[in-house]
Amino acid sequence: MRTTITLDDDVAARLIELQRQTGRSFKIVVNKALGLEQRPCAPKTLPPPFKQQRARSASTVGELIEQTEAPAHPCR
């Protein structure tokens, strides 16, 4: 869209200086200065992938009970 705006001399000078420094078009410099430039969507942050850990295999029933519940009987 084209439109005409009237800028104060100091504002215009600052925009022209920014244009010179950045090498961007006047339109982009003005839109950026107004905070209205089109911004790309922010990338979505994904949680880390789920990693299932393998349980240590039990060689006896007593070890299996220790792993899943309470420790085996102390007299064992």
Q: Is residue 11 part of a domain?
A: yes
- pLDDT of amino acid 2: 85
- Structural domain of 7: 1-39
- Residue 13 domain-assigned (yes or no): yes
Per the domain annotation, does 66 fall within a domain?
Answer: no
CA torsion, ordered 16, 18, 20, 24, to nearest 10 deg: -100
- In the structure, what pLDDT confidence band is assigned to residue 41 with cuts at 50, 70 and 90? low
Q: What is the pLDDT of residue 39?
A: 67
Helices (H), the chain: 9-22, 26-34, 61-68
Tell whether 75 is covered by a domain. Answer: no
pLDDT in tens, 57-68: 767 777 777 777
Q: Please check whether residue 73 lies inside any domain of the structure.
A: no
Note whether residue 60 is domain-resident.
Answer: no
The domain total for the chain is: 1
What is the average per-residue pLDDT within 19-42? 84
Would 52 be classed as within a structural domain? no
Domain annotation covers residue 30: yes
| Counts of helices then strands in the chain (DSSP H, E) | 3, 0
